[in-house]
């Protein structure tokens, strides 16, 4: 990385990246190894989004008295990923500076929902991440038609699609190539195979699989640990509990249309500058839906999400 070498900063400060956050303790990877750090009371944020320090955040740490490290400042985030907080409709950022959001759906068991897929694609795009759709469980009997339909639909919508099976290994070379190329997170409903896919990439991760019912988590004290895992063959993957419900609270209604990749060529040419592409006359997006350039399912997801913002 070499981020710190020769950097003009206060003496004793070094740069690093947060790779784990448990309670008030942050593990920070620096050029000179991994250290634990706490937060300075008055934290300096370079970026516009003060809040919690999360995995992926790039920080400056300084050695305090007795050799303990303190996070002094947080750099502006390049990308962010958020999900709904447990209560209310407030989305909180759970990871920063990741390159890619892999939206995982299974072709069967559980059945895929296009609206859920679209929400997660929007979340990734709105946070500035590159998004890809992973269609998992393609080994399941009778899943060919669903796979073909979704692959066709999302490729047509300008989204890269991977078809995988964590069980047979089908499509895993392409999946590995993406995972090892940068930093990513996997999002998708419970049971689609997110942990299984990561275990297939790196068995030593030994992530817990099989479906965990929502009910069984209730009553448990949730000591939530988020980690940014460095993979043996390169790349990092975020391991954050509860990625089945990504939050759209941080998305501005006026920016939602940009999060639908295939809408972009039509934006800016509607009759009204502030066109919402729902009911307005002379709307280029609605015209594109009418003549088949935009799929009605995608436009339906857009309308549903817009109504919530």
> Which residues bind to ligand GTP, rule: CB under 6 A?
136-137, 139-140, 165-167, 188, 190-196, 209-212, 244
Q: Residue 280 Cβ, how far from Zn ion at the closest point, in Å?
A: 6
Does residue 294 interact with Zn ion by CB under 5 A?
A: no
Q: Residue 125 Cβ, how far from Zn ion at the closest point, in Å?
A: 18
> What CA–CA distances, in Å, run from 33 to 1, 16, 59, 157, 239?
12, 9, 14, 43, 21
The 10 Å Cβ neighbour count of residue 8 is 4
What residues form DSSP beta bridges with 60?
15, 73
Nearer of residues 105 and 285 to Zn ion, judged by Cβ = 285
Q: Which two tokens stand for residue 165?
A: 């099976």
Q: Residue 99 Cβ, how far from ligand GTP at the closest point, in Å?
A: 21
- Please provide the size of the chain in residues: 309
Q: Please answer whether residues 98 and 81 qualify as being in contact, where contact means their C-beta atoms are separated by less than 8 angstroms.
A: yes
Q: Residue 196 Cβ, how far from ligand GTP at the closest point, in Å?
A: 3
**Angle at the Cα of 299 from the Cα atoms of 298 and 305, rounded to 5 degrees:** 90
Question: Can you tell me the distance from the alpha carbon of 29 to that of 35, in angstroms, rounded to the nearest whole number?
Answer: 7
Q: Residue 102 Cβ, how far from Mg ion at the closest point, in Å?
A: 13
- CA 158, chain centre distance (Å): 18
Instruction: Please tell me the count of residues contacting Zn ion according to CB under 5 A.
Output: 5
Nearer of residues 194 and 299 to Mg ion, judged by Cβ = 194
The 10 Å Cβ neighbour count of residue 292 is 9
Nearer of residues 70 and 103 to Mg ion, judged by Cβ = 103
Q: Please answer whether residues 129 and 160 qualify as being in contact, where contact means their C-beta atoms are separated by less than 8 angstroms.
A: no
Nearer of residues 226 and 295 to ligand GTP, judged by Cβ = 226
CB burial class (10 A; 0-12, 13-18, 19+) of residue 282? exposed
Contact pattern for Zn ion over residues 235 through 274, marking x by CB under 5 A: -----------------------------------x----
Residue in the shown chain whose Cβ atom is closest to ligand GTP: 193
Does residue 288 interact with Zn ion by CB under 5 A?
A: no
User: Which of Mg ion, ligand GTP, Zn ion, none binds 139 (CB below 5-8 Å, type-dependent)?
Assistant: ligand GTP
Does residue 275 interact with Zn ion by CB under 5 A?
A: yes
| Residues forming the site for Zn ion (CB under 5 A) | 270, 275, 277, 283, 285
């Amino acid at each position: 990385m070499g981020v710190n070498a020769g950097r003009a900063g206060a003496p004793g400060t070094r740069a690093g990246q947060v790779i784990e956050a448990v309670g008030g303790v942050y593990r920070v990877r620096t050029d000179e190894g991994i250290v634990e750090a706490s937060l300075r009371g008055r934290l300096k944020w370079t970026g516009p989004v003060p809040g919690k320090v999360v995995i992926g955040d790039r920080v400056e740490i300084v050695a305090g008295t007795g050799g303990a490290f303190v996070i002094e400042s947080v750099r502006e985030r390049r990308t962010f990923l958020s999900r709904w907080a447990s209560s209310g409709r407030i989305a909180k950022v759970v990871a920063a500076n990741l390159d890619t959001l892999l939206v995982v759906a299974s072709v069967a068991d559980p059945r895929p929902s296009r609206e859920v897929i679209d929400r997660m694609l929007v979340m990734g795009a709105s946070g500035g991440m590159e998004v890809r759709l992973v269609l998992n469980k393609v080994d399941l009997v009778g899943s060919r038609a669903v796979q073909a339909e979704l692959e066709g639909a999302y490729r047509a919508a300008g989204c890269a699609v991977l078809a995988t099976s964590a069980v047979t290994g089908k499509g895993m070379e392409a999946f590995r190539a993406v995972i090892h190329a940068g930093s990513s997170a996997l999002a998708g409903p419970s049971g689609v195979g997110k942990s299984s896919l990561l275990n297939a990439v790196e068995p030593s991760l030994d992530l817990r699989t099989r479906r965990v019912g929502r009910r069984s988590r209730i009553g448990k004290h949730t000591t939530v640990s988020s980690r940014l895992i460095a993979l043996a063959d390169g790349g990092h993957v975020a391991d954050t509990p509860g990625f089945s419900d990504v939050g759209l609270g941080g998305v501005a209604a006026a920016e939602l249309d940009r999060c639908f990749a295939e809408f972009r060529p039509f934006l800016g040419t509607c009759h009204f500058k502030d066109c919402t592409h729902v009911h307005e006359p002379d709307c280029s997006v609605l015209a594109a839906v009418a003549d088949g350039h935009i799929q009605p399912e995608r436009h339906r997801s857009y309308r549903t999400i817009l109504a919530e913002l």
